Chain A
Amino acid sequence: MTTDRKRPFLGILAPLIGILALLLLWTLVCSLGKISPYILPPPRKVGQTFLKMAASGEITRDILVSFSRVIRGFGISFLLAFALAVLRIGLPVSACYTAAFVQFFRSVPPISLIPLLILWCGIGETTKTVIIVLAAFFPMYLAIVKGFTSFDRKLLELARVFSYSRFRTFLRIILPSAVPDILLGMRTSLGYAWRAIIGAEMVAASTGLGHMILFAQQMSRTDKVIVGILVIGIAGSLTDWLLGILIRHLVGRWAEHGWD
């Protein structure tokens, strides 16, 4: 961030040069004629397909469907992670009961639960929401717990001296101390949520970007598959960028001296 501000070339031009170089390489490989356009369509063809899909509203519809699923699942994950992290610090003994579950479900890839979830919940929105929650919950929960437990203990003495209640201590000391960790946990989880929803839509959906990619593959439309992949990458990067702005806005004031 600081580097970008000090050297605009590295912040804006360098990534553009990297992207252009990749496009040139892609065009060059395609123009050699050694690889079938079915396996690797040229950038121009992918671009034209994107414009057609955008004009017909097809891609916009899929983006909005996937995006709304991510936001819903992510929101539920955040509320759950926050509530359980508060329980974890308010009632430390609760960690003894939940530690085994947390470790177990952290190790189980949410995609592996899809068959069971389809059996229990069908292929409706519930299955996809549960998969996103399972994917996004753990990084966020662990980050929030870390934030709630790794603050400067000396500040608690300050609260005790000035007769703060436990609730006021949480609001004015523990929560603000944990904000950088909470936001970074949210950022990590958002990436996990995007990965999970695309996987889920490939298996158990009739709408969304994941379904669009799988359907295009079945129709032998590699250009559409690539459009889908690019859109997912851009949508994921965009949401991450927006969250990054939020993080800088909220914690940037003290991030420069070790609070990042």
Chain B
Amino acid sequence: MAGIDLIHLRKTYLMGTKRVTVLDGLDLSIPENAITVVLGKSGCGKTTLLRLIAGLESPDSGEICLPGNRKTAFVFQEPRLLPWLNVRDNVQFPLNRSSIRPEETRNMLETVGLSGTERALPHQLSGGMQQRVALARALLYHPTLILMDEPFAALDHFTRVDMQHALLDIRRKTQASILFVTHSIDEALTLGDTLVILSGGLIRARFDLSAPHPRDLLSDDLIVLRRRIVAGLEETIPYALSED
């Protein structure tokens, strides 16, 4: 699929009597078949950006240019599993009856470390396991674009590392474009082909990483890059508020 272009994207919300500008004429090109990581402090508009691209919200102005033949999957901050469906049925939720292949479902559950939980209900799983079901659900859909909103934030360190490896592996196999939101610099450096810093409703910095996976986060290049990212994040610009 082709990449995604966001042109002068503006989005505001009414908060009481004040209008909050979350995205303020944002421009961004998201390359195809790559992992683009959006970094930013809490509340800087990262989730709004994903929701606009997914079509769950409309921008006040600006343009979102998406390829016509895309299949989009969204991994939300919370798992959003259907409580009356077991793990297998939740994972197969995006599929039509005719496109369900049990063997593929089993393999996907194995990939995310959930073998043997097919018949378990969501409330019987831990938070981390539920999030892995949500990830498996998105991946089984065979999307060309995956929007991920801090999907690993609830996982412990080891599961998080496993999931990051699984994501890189799946990206290699499927060549999907991934837009990944996080506030973890380590995670951004581990996964990202392109890193952008979102602050004050605009992209403040962009870094392209060419280092192959798996990456050594303690290498000189990445330590230098980390310093630049931290500096970029520290220059946080607050929301613009205006009377409505």
- Is A254's CB under 8 angstroms from B80's CB? no
Alpha-carbon gap, A259 to B83, bound state (A): 9
Known: A154-B80, A157-B56, A173-B82. A257 touches B94 (CB 8 A): no
- Is B82's CB under 8 angstroms from A257's CB? no
Option from B72, B83, B93, B94 in Cβ contact (under 8 Å) with A254: B83
CB distance from B53 to the nearest CB of A (A): 11
- Is A162's CB under 8 angstroms from B84's CB? no
CB distance from A150 to the nearest CB of B (A): 14
Which chain B residue shows the least CB distance to A160? B56
26 pairs from A and B in contact (CB 8 Å cutoff)? A154-B76, A155-B80, A157-B56, A157-B76, A158-B74, A158-B76, A158-B80, A160-B54, A160-B56, A161-B72, A161-B74, A162-B73, A162-B94, A162-B141, A172-B93, A173-B82, A177-B84, A179-B84, A251-B84, A253-B84, A254-B83, A254-B84, A254-B121, A256-B123, A257-B83, A259-B84
- Is B73's CB under 8 angstroms from A161's CB? yes
Within residues 52 to 96 of chain B, which ones have a CB less than 8 A from any CB in chain A?
Answer: 54-56, 72-74, 76, 78, 80, 82-84, 93-94
- Answer whether residue A244 sits at the interface, using C-beta atoms and an 8 A cutoff: no
Which chain A residue shows the least CB distance to B124? A257
- Answer whether residue A176 sits at the interface, using C-beta atoms and an 8 A cutoff: yes
Interface SS of A by simple majority: helix
Which chain A residue shows the least CB distance to B57? A157
Question: Which A residues touch B76, using CB under 8 A?
Answer: 154, 157-158
Alpha-carbon gap, A160 to B54, bound state (A): 9
Which chain B residue shows the least CB distance to A180? B84
Which chain A residue shows the least CB distance to B72? A161
CB distance from A175 to the nearest CB of B (A): 10
Alpha-carbon gap, A172 to B121, bound state (A): 16
Option from B55, B82, B93, B141 in Cβ contact (under 8 Å) with A160: B55
A164-184 CB contact bits vs B (8 Å, 1 = yes)? 000000001100110100000
Within residues 121 to 170 of chain B, which ones have a CB less than 8 A from any CB in chain A?
Answer: 121, 123, 141
Option from A161, A176, A177, A253 in Cβ contact (under 8 Å) with B54: A161
Question: Which B residues touch A256, using CB under 8 A?
Answer: 123
Alpha-carbon gap, A84 to B15, bound state (A): 37
Which chain B residue shows the least CB distance to A158? B80
CB distance from B172 to the nearest CB of A (A): 24
Within residues 225 to 260 of chain A, which ones have a CB less than 8 A from any CB in chain B?
Answer: 251, 253-254, 256-257, 259
Alpha-carbon gap, A160 to B73, bound state (A): 10
CB distance from A130 to the nearest CB of B (A): 36
Question: Which B residues touch A177, using CB under 8 A?
Answer: 84
Most A CB contacts (10 A, CB to CB) among B54, B73, B83, B123 go to B83
Alpha-carbon gap, A253 to B91, bound state (A): 18
Question: Which B residues touch A154, using CB under 8 A?
Answer: 76, 78, 80
Alpha-carbon gap, A154 to B78, bound state (A): 10
Within residues 79 to 113 of chain A, which ones have a CB less than 8 A from any CB in chain B?
Answer: none
Most B CB contacts (10 A, CB to CB) among A154, A157, A173 go to A157
